[in-house]
Structure 1
Amino acid sequence: MNRSENTATSAAPAKITDSGQFKRSLGTWSTLALGVGAMVGFGWVTLVGGWINDAGTLGAASAMLAGGVMMAVVAFVYSEMVAAMPKAGGEHNYILRAMGPRWSFIGSWGITGGYATVVAFEAVALPTALEYVIPLDHLHLWTVSDSDVFLSWALVGAVTAVIITIINIVGVKIAGSFQMFVVLFLFLIGFLQIFGSLNAGEVSMMEPLFSNGWAGFFTVLVVVPFMFVGFDVIPQTAEEVNLPPKKTGRIAFISVIIAAAWYIMIILTVSSALTPEQQANSSLPAADAMATLFSSEFFGNLMVAAGVAGIVTSWNSLQMGASRLMYSLAQGGMLPAWLGKLHPKFGTPVNALLVLGAVATIAPFFGHKALGWIVDAGSPMIVIAYFLVSISFVILRIREPKMNRPLRVGGRGNFGVIVGATAVAITAFLITLYVPGMPAGLSIEPWIIFGVWWLVGAVFFVGIPGGVKPGPNAEEELMEKVYARYPHRRP
C-alpha cells in the first residue's frame, strides 16, 4: 500500500448523520492545558499524605517518578497513533484499524466508562473540597452508605455540572480557553508552594526518606493509572486541534512529563512542612502544608482553590474526551445514531455532552462513598483501553510498516516495536494490580459496577456488524455494513 493511499484513508472520519463538522479551535497551549488539566485533578490534595506515610518522602517520589516513566512509554505509543490518525475518538480508530470493530468497541467502551466515572466523581469532589472553607451541611436529604447527603452540598456539584456542560456545548475554543486559564492558576499556586517550601520548609521534616521497603513503593505505584489518566483526552479531540499531527502527538507525551513533575513537587513540599503525624491526621495535607509554610490559613484556602481548579480542569477535559468517544462509536454504528449528532452551530457532540452532563448532575445526590466505588470500577476500564491501544501499535508497526506516520517513535527500525511491546507489558502489569489479592485489588462493590457497565456494553456489542477485516479500509467496510442495515443513516 502506498503513502498516498494511507493518507487518504485517515484523512477524515465517515459520517452517519449530516450534522456539521468539528471546528479546529485548539492551539498549542490550550491542547497542552487539556491534557495536563485532565491528569492533575483533586486526588493529590487528599492522597499525598498517604503516599508519604506508605513509602517515605523519597520512596513516594521515586514511585511517582517510576509511574511517570511507565505512563510516558504509553504516551509515546499514543503520540505516534494520534499523529497517524488525527480523528475524533482516538482509541476507537487505532484499535479498529489494527484489530477490527469488536475489539475497537471493547477498548472504546472501557475508556468511555472510565471517563464517565471520573466525571461523576469530580461532581462529588468539588463540594468535598469546598467544605474545607465553607459549611455545606444544610437541609439533610438522605443517607447513602453511611454518607449524609445535604441539599446545599449536592447543589454545588449539580450546578457546576450544568455550567461545565454548557461551556462544552458552546464550543471547544471556549472550553479550551477556560481550561488554559484554570491550569495557569493551578500552576501559579504550585510555584507559590515551592517558594514556601524553599523559604520555610525543613529537610529534617522529610524523614523517613524511605518506609516499608518495596511494599511501600508498590503501594504508591498502584495509584498511577488513576493519577495519570487524561493525557489520552488529546487524541479524542484530534479533529478540533489546529496543529500539525506530529506536534499534537508530542504534546500528549509532554503533558505526562508535566503531570509527573507536579506530583513529585507536591510530595517533596508537603513532606518539608508537615510531620508524619500531621499528614496522617489531615484530610487535605496539601492545603495544611501550604498553611504551615506561610503561617496563614489564607494560604491553606488558596491551595484548596488550586484543588478546586484541578477538579474543574479534570472534569472539563474528561467530559470533553468521553463525549468524543461516544460520538465516534455512534458514527461507527456501535451506539445509537443520535449520540453522533454535532451541534449545527457550535460543532460539538451535543447529545453525548448532555448525557454526560446528566450523569454529573445526578451524581452528587448519591453521596461520597458510593462514588468512590464508581471511580475504583473505572480505573481498570481505562487500563484495558491502554492495553489494547499498545497491542494495536505493535500490530500496525509490523503489518503496515509503510503506513503514513508523521511522528515515528524510535525511527524506522525495530526500536519502535520494542517501545510498543514495553507499553503492552506495562499495561498488562497494571491490569493485574486490580485483581483480588493484589495491592490495588478491588472490593466487591466496584466489581459489581464494573460488571453492570460491561453488561450494558454487551447489548451494543452483539449488534456490531461482523465480517469487517482489520486494516486501512476497516472504517469504510464497517460503514457500508451499517448503511446496509440502516439505510436512513447514509448521508
Structure 2
Amino acid sequence: MNERRELNKVLNTGDVLVTAFGAMIGWGWVISSGGWIQASGVLGTALGFIIGGIMIYFVGMVYAELTTAMPEIGGPKVFSAKAFGANISFVCSWAMLFSYIGVVCFEACSLPTIIQYIFPGFLKGYLYTVAGFDIYATWLIMGITATLLITGINILGVKAAATLQKILTITIAAVGIILVVVSAIKGNVDNLDGQLLIGVDGVSVVKNIMSIAVVASFFLFGFDVIPQAAEEIDVPLKKVGKLLVFSIVLAVAFYALVVFAIGYGLNSDGIAESMSSTGLVAADTMAKLFNSATMSKVLIIGGMCGIITSWNSFLMGGSRVLFSMAKSRMVPGRFSKLHAKYKTPVTSLLLIGVLSILSLFCGRAMLIWISDVASFACCFAYCIVALSFLKLRKTKPDMPRPFKIQNANLVGVMAVLMSGLMCVLYVIPNSGCTFTVQEWVIGIVWVILGLVFAIVCKKKYKDDFGKM
C-alpha cells in the first residue's frame, strides 16, 4: 500500500476547529497587545486585525474550496502543482515550510520566556548574549525539554496532538472571555481617551493601522494547518471547508475583543506603565480589573497554553509539508518515512524538532527576525494558492468541489491582491513593516537553500521530481 494512504484518518469536527483556532490565538495577544495599542490605538489595532482578517478570510475561502476538492496531505503543494506544475509547487511549498518552521522555533523560544514572568527567579546560569538577549542554562533546559515533549506527542499520533490542542484551546478561550466580560463590567469608557487611534494626521493613522494589518496576517495564519493534514481528517469534506472559514472569523473576533477589553480596562498611562515594567499589558489589565496579582498569573498561564497550541499546530502542519514534499521527491525521500506503529511522519517531525532546539541557542532577537520573514513567506504562499485557485476554476471547471464558493473570480482576485499587498509592504521602504538587513539575509539564505535542494533533487530524481 502506498505510504501516503497509511496516515490515520482520526481528526473529528472538534479536532479540526480547535487545531486551526488554537494555532491562531496563541500567545501574541498576551505579550504584544500593549505594543499594538501604543502603535495604532485600540480602534486602530482592531481595524488592523479586521483588515488582516479580511485578507485571511478571502484566502481561507480559497483554501476551503481547494482542500475539499483535493483532500491530500500537503495542501498548497497539491493545489499549486495541479495548477502550475512541479516548479511553482516547489516554490510554494518551500515558502510555506519556512513559515511553519519559523513559528515553531519562535514558540520554542517563547515558552521559557513566559516562565520567567511567572517565576522571576527562574533564570540561572548565565551563558552568553545574542543581539542583546541573555541566554541562561535554565532557559535552554526548559526550551529543550518542552521541544522534546511536544515533538514526542506529535510522534504518538495526530489524535494525541489534537486532544492536547483541545484542552489547551478551551483554557485560552476561557481566560480571554473572562478578561472581556470583566472589562465590560468594571472598565471605563474614559480609558479609551487618547488611545483609540494613533497618528498626527490621516496618513500616519492609516500607516499605523496597516502596520498592524501586516502583523495580523502572521498571527492569523494558523487555519492552513488543516489542508496540510487533510488526509487525517474524518469529517465530511463540505463541513471541513465551513470549519476552516469559521475558525478565521472566530480568531479575528477574539483578537478584536481582547484589544478593546484592554483599552476599556486600562488607560494610556496605565498601558505605558505596564509596558515599561512587565510588558504584559493584558495580564496587568486582568490584575487591575480583579485587584489581584493572582489573576495576572492566571492570564499568563492562559498565554502559556497559547504558546503550546500554536507550537503544536505548526509542528503538525510543518511536518506534513515536509512529508508531502519528500513523497513528491522535492526533498530527500527519507523525510517521507512514517512511524511503524503511529503512522506519523517521524523523520520530518524529528528534523523540525532538532531545528527548534538549535534555534533556542540563537536567542529571542534572531527569532523575531525569523518570524517576520516567516510572515512574508506565508503571504507569498497564499498568493500562489490564490492564483492556483483562479487557474483551476478556468482549466478544470468540472473538478468536484464539495465546498464550492460563490463569486469565485471576485474571491480569488481579492485573495491575490490582498496577500500580494502584504508581501509588497515588506519590501517597500518606510512602509512601517519593511524588512531589516538581518531579515533580508535570512530570506536570501532560505531562497539559496531552496535552489540547492531543487537542483540536487531534480538531478537525482529526474522525472519523479514533483510527481504526485
TM-score, normalized by length of structure 1?
0.89
Report if aligned partners of 2:238, 2:402 keep a CA contact under 8 Å in 1.
Answer: yes
- Quick one: distance in 2 between partners of 1:49 and 1:140? 29
2:78 corresponds to 1:96: no
2:452 match: 459
2:167 corresponds to 1:181: yes
1:482 match: 464
Deviation per residue, 1:396-435 (Å, 9 max, x gap): 001111111111010xxxx212210111111110101100
Deviation of 1:219 after TM superposition, in Å, equals 2.5
2:290 corresponds to 1:294: yes
Report if aligned partners of 1:140, 1:148 keep a CA contact under 8 Å in 2.
Answer: yes
Deviation of 1:19 after TM superposition, in Å, equals 7.9
- Quick one: distance in 1 between partners of 2:216 and 2:176? 20
Equivalent runs, 1:76-115 vs 2, <5 Å: 76-115=61-100
Deviation of 1:146 after TM superposition, in Å, equals 2.0
CA 1:101 to 1:152, structure 2 compared with 1: closer, same or farther past 3 Å?
Answer: same
Deviation per residue, 1:73-132 (Å, 9 max, x gap): 110000000000001110000000000010000000001011101100101111111111
Task: Read off the aligned partner of 2:197 and give its amino acid letter.
Answer: F
- Quick one: distance in 1 between partners of 2:157 and 2:29? 29
- Quick one: distance in 1 between partners of 2:47 and 2:464? 49
2:202 match: none
Gaps of 5+ in 2: 200-204
Equivalent position SS for 1:403? coil
Report if aligned partners of 1:19, 1:341 keep a CA contact under 8 Å in 2.
Answer: no
Report if aligned partners of 2:225, 2:314 keep a CA contact under 8 Å in 1.
Answer: yes
2:373 match: 377
- Residue range with higher mean Cα deviation, 418-427 or 389-398: 418-427
Deviation of 1:459 after TM superposition, in Å, equals 1.1
* Percent pairwise identity: 35
- Quick one: distance in 1 between partners of 2:322 and 2:84? 19
Task: Read off the aligned partner of 2:142 and give its amino acid letter.
Answer: V
* Aligned equivalent of 1:222, options 214, 217, 226: 214
Task: Read off the aligned partner of 1:194 and give its amino acid letter.
Answer: V
Report if aligned partners of 1:115, 1:322 keep a CA contact under 8 Å in 2.
Answer: yes
Gaps of 5+ in 1: 1-13, 467-478
Task: Read off the aligned partner of 1:248 and give its amino acid letter.
Answer: V
1:417 match: 409
- Quick one: distance in 1 between partners of 2:466 and 2:115? 53
Task: Read off the aligned partner of 1:453 and give its amino acid letter.
Answer: W
1:162 match: 148
Report if aligned partners of 1:90, 1:235 keep a CA contact under 8 Å in 2.
Answer: yes
Report if aligned partners of 1:102, 1:464 keep a CA contact under 8 Å in 2.
Answer: no
- Quick one: distance in 1 between partners of 2:316 and 2:338? 13
Report if aligned partners of 1:20, 1:347 keep a CA contact under 8 Å in 2.
Answer: no
TM-score, normalized by length of structure 2?
0.94
Task: Read off the aligned partner of 1:270 and give its amino acid letter.
Answer: I
Deviation per residue, 1:209-231 (Å, 9 max, x gap): 22213233222222122111111
Deviation of 1:288 after TM superposition, in Å, equals 0.7
Equivalent position SS for 1:142? strand
1:351 match: 347
Equivalent runs, 1:114-125 vs 2, <5 Å: 114-125=99-110
- Quick one: distance in 2 between partners of 1:35 and 1:275? 33
CA 1:484 to 1:276, structure 2 compared with 1: closer, same or farther past 3 Å?
Answer: closer
Report if aligned partners of 2:106, 2:371 keep a CA contact under 8 Å in 1.
Answer: yes
Report if aligned partners of 2:10, 2:158 keep a CA contact under 8 Å in 1.
Answer: yes
Deviation of 1:464 after TM superposition, in Å, equals 5.4
2:427 match: 435
- Quick one: distance in 1 between partners of 2:211 and 2:5? 47
Q: Indicate the RMSD between aligned Cα atoms, in angstroms.
A: 1.9
1:450 match: 443
* Aligned equivalent of 2:197, options 210, 226, 230: 210
2:71 corresponds to 1:64: no
Q: Which runs of 4+ in 1 moved over 6 A?
A: none
1:5 match: none
- Quick one: distance in 1 between partners of 2:391 and 2:48? 30
Equivalent position SS for 2:427? coil
CA 1:19 to 1:428, structure 2 compared with 1: closer, same or farther past 3 Å?
Answer: closer
- Quick one: distance in 1 between partners of 2:217 and 2:43? 20
1:474 match: none
* Aligned equivalent of 1:270, options 259, 262, 268: 262
Equivalent position SS for 1:404? coil
Task: Read off the aligned partner of 2:79 and give its amino acid letter.
Answer: Y
Report if aligned partners of 1:19, 1:343 keep a CA contact under 8 Å in 2.
Answer: no
Report if aligned partners of 1:390, 1:420 keep a CA contact under 8 Å in 2.
Answer: yes
- Quick one: distance in 2 between partners of 1:398 and 1:363? 43
Equivalent position SS for 1:272? helix
Task: Read off the aligned partner of 2:18 and give its amino acid letter.
Answer: A
Equivalent position SS for 2:32? helix
Deviation of 1:251 after TM superposition, in Å, equals 1.2
CA 1:360 to 1:68, structure 2 compared with 1: closer, same or farther past 3 Å?
Answer: same
CA 1:198 to 1:218, structure 2 compared with 1: closer, same or farther past 3 Å?
Answer: same
CA 1:254 to 1:19, structure 2 compared with 1: closer, same or farther past 3 Å?
Answer: closer
- How many residues are matched? 455
1:475 match: none
Report if aligned partners of 2:76, 2:92 keep a CA contact under 8 Å in 1.
Answer: yes
* Aligned equivalent of 1:364, options 360, 363, 366: 360
